[in-house]
Structure 1
C-alpha cells in the first residue's frame, strides 16, 4: 500500500485507487503522472499494455485489454473485456488441513433433531402464491391477538410467501427445487414451529409436501388449505387457534450453551465494489476459517459470481468427487445461460461497475475470498440439506435474496453479508450481519451496516477484522439483534429459485 493506491499482488499490472485521484497527480509507487482522473476503487495501469494483453489483479487474469492502454491510465469497461480463464483445476492440489481451535460457546435453541437455532420464530409457510395474502392476514391477526402478542419466548410470527407453486411442471427440476426449498424452511432450526397454508388446487400440493417425510422432528407442525377450511375468514380463525397451540410449545424453548460447531453461516456479497475483494471479503474469509477450525459450517454460494475463480476452490477440495461436483455445477450454468440466451459475463451490475469492478473474472476473484483458505468439504445443490461440517458450497444464482433463500433452506441459521455500495436487506428467520467494504459508505449508512471493514485500508489487519466478525457472529447467535433486524427487514426476501417455464 502506498499513499492513494494499493497493489494486491507482486504479479499485478494494475493498482487500485484508494481515493478519487486527479489527472496529472502522481501517487507514491507509480513512476509517472495519471493520464486521467481515477475514481476510488478503480484500476490504474502500472505500465503500457498492448491490445490483447492480459490484465492481472490478485495475481490472476481478470480480462484482456480491448485497446492499447497507456501507462498510468484508467482501466475499466471501455478498455477491458473477458479473457479465457484458468482451467487448471488441479483438484486437491492446495488442500491444507485445518488446525483445530478450542471451541467457543454461544447461547442457542436446542431442537429435537440435534440442530441448534439462533432465533425462535413461528413460521407461516405457503405452498403457493395464491395463499400468500392469507398467510399475511394470519400473521397480522396474530400480532393483534392478545394471547400471542403477549407470549414471551418468541421472536415473532413470520409469513413466508413467494411467487410460485403453480403454473409449473409437477415433476421437473424447478418443481424439485421448490420442494427442497419449502421443506428446508420448515426444518430450519430458527423456527420453533411451522404452519403450512395452501390454497388447495395448486401444483405444489400440501399433501405431497407433508407426505415426503416428517417435516419437523419436534412435531410442532400443522397444515391446512384455504379451500378445505371454507375460505379466507374461516382459515384465519382456524389458523389463530392452531398458532396459539403451537406458540405454547415453541415458547417453552430456552437458550442454552452450545459449541459454535452447531452454527451454520451463509456467506453473501451484494452491491460489491472495487474494495470488496480487498477488505470485507477476505476478512469474512478469515472469520470463516476460524469458525471451521472450531467445527462450524460456512456456506459459499452464487455460482455466477465464482465463475472464472472456481479453480481456486477445486484446488482445495477434500476429494475428487467434491471437486467434480463443483465443476458439474459450473457446466450446468454454462448450459443454462446459453439456452436462455444469456452469458456468464453479464453479472457485474451497473453499481458494481461504478464501484470499480469490470469483468465477472475480477468480481469472482474477489468474491471467493469470502471462502477463506479452509478445505472445501462439500458441494450441494440449491436448498439441499448440508450435512458436511466445514467450508461448503451451495449452488445458487448470484441474485442475493434468491441465494440466501437457498442457504437458509439448506440449514443456515445466520447470514453474513458484505457490501460496498450499501445493500439493505434481512432474511427471516436467520439474522443478517452486514459488513461495509469502505468507510465512506459505512459513515453514510451506519444505521444499516453492522461492521466497517474499510478501516483495513487504514492499517487494521485482515486477521484482526476477521476476529471482530467472529465475535459479532457469536453475539448475534446468542441473541444480539442485528441492525437489519432492528429495522424490521425480512418480510419480503424469501425468493425461491424458479427454474423452467411458467405455464
Structure 2
C-alpha cells in the first residue's frame, strides 16, 4: 500500500494516503524528507521550504498562497495557506483538446420508449406541480404500492416546495425542471398532480412539456376532483398497465447519458475517486456516449482547464459566461465568491477552493467539451457537457437528471445517503469509508492506493455502470430513497 503521493512532477506538496506520524522519513524524487508533525490521511505536507506569499503547487497548478513561511516536512493546510483567487477574470482561449480514439460499442439492457428515447428504469413517477399538493402526492405513492408489479421498478413521488409564489427565473426554472422530469425516459408512466390555482398549474406547464404520449402521462387537478386520491388510483392503474408492457432489450451504450457530481470530498477525492470517474467518462465518450459535469462554483480555480478543452471558440465563450454568471450571482447576493470549501472538506484535507476545484474537475477526464448547458436545458450533443448548477448535492444532482442523465455518479470522501430522481451511485474515495458505510457506498476507489491501477478502476466502474443501466439497483435504490430539489435564486412572494 502506498503511504503518500506526489501527484504532478512540479508539485511543492505531497498527499498522505494514510496517516503519517511526525519523525517519519519519506523518499520523494530521490530526496529524504522527515515529517516535522503528524499528517492526517488526505492532507498535504511540504516537499521543500515555501516562503510566505509564494504559490503552493498541487496537481501542477497553484492551489493558493502561503500565508507564512512553510518548512519542508510540515503540514500544509488552512492555517498556512489561503486562496489566491480574485473576482471576475478575463480569459483567453488557448485550445488544448484532442478527440478521443473511438473504442468498440457495447450494450446495456434498457427500455425503448415510444418516442425513441432509451431509459434504464421502468418506474412510475408522481410529480406535483406545486408544494401545496406534496402530501397528496406522497399519499398516492403509499397507496399505489399495492398496484406495483414485477414489471415496474418503482413507484415514487417527488415533492418540492415550489410552483407558486415565485418570480422571474425561479418560476421559469421550476417549470423547466418539472417538464424535463415528466419527459424523462426512466419513467414508464407519470402522474402530474396539480392544485388548480397555482402559478405553474397544469395548463401553464403543458407547453413546457410539449407533445406527450397520453398513455404515459396523466394529469390530475385536485381542486376539480371530489376525491383526488380515488381518482389518482384509477389513473395510477392505467399507468401501471401501460408501463408494464415495456421490456428490457439491448441498447447501445452510445445512448447512455451519465451525470457526474461530487460531495463531502476529502483529500483523496481528487486522487482516487474523481480521476476514476474521469477515466470512466473518457471510456464512455470513446464509445459514443455522453457525460455531464456540473457544480460550477467548484470549477472556480480550474476553469481554464475546461475552457481550453472546448471544441471551438463559441463553446469557450459559453464556458466563460457559465463561470462569470455564477460569480455575478454570488456578488448580487453580497456573498464571497470563494467561500468554500466546507468544514467537512477541510477536515478531509482540502484547504482552498483551488484545491477542491482542481480535484473536482478530474471527473471530466480528458475529452473535449462539446456542450455548455444552462440550468434546466436538455443535453443535445454526445460527449462531455458542462451544466450550470450550484454545488449543492440535491440541487445539482436533480439538475443532472433534468438535463437527461440516466444515472448520476457521485464521488464522496465523507459519505451521504441521498438520491436523485435517477439511480445515484455513491463512489468512495477511500476504503475506510467504503467499509464503514457499505449500506451507502456502491464502488470503492480507495483500492487505487492499495493494489489497483486507475485504468483498471475506470474499466471496473464502467462495467458496474452497464450493470446498473441494465437493472442492478444501487444502494440508495435498495433503501427506497428518492430526492428532488430545485434551484431557488430569487424572491419568494
TM > 0.5 between the two? yes
2:96 alignment counterpart: 94
Is 1:159 paired with 2:149?
Answer: no
CA contact (8 A) 2:108 2:253 kept: yes
| CA distance in 1: counterparts of 2:248 and 2:413, whole angstroms | 34
CA contact (8 A) 2:2 2:449 kept: no
CA contact (8 A) 2:215 2:239 kept: no
- 5 Å matches for 1:214-293? 214=210, 216-217=212-213, 219-230=215-226, 234-293=227-286
- 5 Å matches for 1:423-502? 423-428=416-421, 430-490=422-482, 493-502=483-492
| CA distance in 2: counterparts of 1:256 and 1:363, whole angstroms | 40
| CA distance in 1: counterparts of 2:341 and 2:260, whole angstroms | 18
| CA distance in 1: counterparts of 2:127 and 2:135, whole angstroms | 12
Unaligned runs of 5+ residues in structure 2 are: none
SS of the counterpart of 2:27?
coil
Greater shift, 199-208 or 181-190, is seen at: 199-208
Deviations 1:140-166 (CA, angstroms, capped at 9, x unpaired):
1112x3xx13x3311121111101111
Is 1:37 paired with 2:29?
Answer: no
Structure 1 pair 212/23, CA: closer, same or farther in 2 (3 Å)? closer
2:324 alignment counterpart: 331
The one of 175, 179, 184 equivalent to 2:180 is: 184
Deviations 1:65-117 (CA, angstroms, capped at 9, x unpaired):
11121221111111110113796855361110121111101110001222100
CA contact (8 A) 2:163 2:175 kept: no
2:204 alignment counterpart: 208
| CA distance in 2: counterparts of 1:182 and 1:353, whole angstroms | 35
Greater shift, 19-28 or 262-271, is seen at: 19-28
Deviations 1:295-344 (CA, angstroms, capped at 9, x unpaired):
11100000011111111111111111111111101111111101112123
- 5 Å matches for 1:343-362? 343-362=336-355
Deviation at 1:213, TM superposition (A): 4.7
SS of the counterpart of 1:253?
coil
Greater shift, 333-342 or 85-94, is seen at: 85-94
Deviation at 1:384, TM superposition (A): 0.6
Give every structure 1 segment of 4 or more consecutive aligned residues whose post-TM-superposition deviation is greater than 4 Å.
85-90
Deviation at 1:173, TM superposition (A): 1.3
The CA RMSD measured in Å over matched residues stands at 1.6
Deviation at 1:440, TM superposition (A): 1.4
1:198 alignment counterpart: 194
CA contact (8 A) 1:14 1:56 kept: yes
Deviations 1:388-418 (CA, angstroms, capped at 9, x unpaired):
1111111100001100101111111111111
Equivalent residue pairs, number? 490
2:16 alignment counterpart: 17
Unaligned runs of 5+ residues in structure 1 are: none
CA contact (8 A) 1:92 1:317 kept: no
| CA distance in 2: counterparts of 1:140 and 1:224, whole angstroms | 17
| CA distance in 2: counterparts of 1:4 and 1:107, whole angstroms | 41
| CA distance in 2: counterparts of 1:196 and 1:486, whole angstroms | 25
SS of the counterpart of 1:189?
coil
1:390 alignment counterpart: 383
Deviation at 1:214, TM superposition (A): 2.6
| CA distance in 2: counterparts of 1:219 and 1:322, whole angstroms | 39
SS of the counterpart of 1:272?
coil
Structure 1 pair 445/498, CA: closer, same or farther in 2 (3 Å)? same
Deviations 1:343-374 (CA, angstroms, capped at 9, x unpaired):
23222111110000011111000010101001
Greater shift, 445-454 or 357-366, is seen at: 445-454
CA contact (8 A) 2:159 2:484 kept: yes
| CA distance in 1: counterparts of 2:257 and 2:490, whole angstroms | 30
1:61 alignment counterpart: 62
Structure 1 pair 442/88, CA: closer, same or farther in 2 (3 Å)? farther
Structure 1 pair 90/471, CA: closer, same or farther in 2 (3 Å)? farther
TM-score, structure 2 normalization = 0.96
| CA distance in 1: counterparts of 2:33 and 2:191, whole angstroms | 66
CA contact (8 A) 1:102 1:294 kept: yes
| CA distance in 2: counterparts of 1:88 and 1:44, whole angstroms | 32
TM-score, structure 1 normalization = 0.94
Structure 1 pair 102/92, CA: closer, same or farther in 2 (3 Å)? farther
SS of the counterpart of 1:500?
coil
Is 1:80 paired with 2:75?
Answer: no
Structure 1 pair 392/217, CA: closer, same or farther in 2 (3 Å)? farther
CA contact (8 A) 1:307 1:344 kept: no
Greater shift, 436-445 or 401-410, is seen at: 436-445
Deviation at 1:217, TM superposition (A): 4.2
CA contact (8 A) 1:215 1:221 kept: no
1:52 alignment counterpart: 53
CA contact (8 A) 1:17 1:38 kept: yes
SS of the counterpart of 1:243?
helix
SS of the counterpart of 2:338?
helix
Greater shift, 299-308 or 317-326, is seen at: 317-326
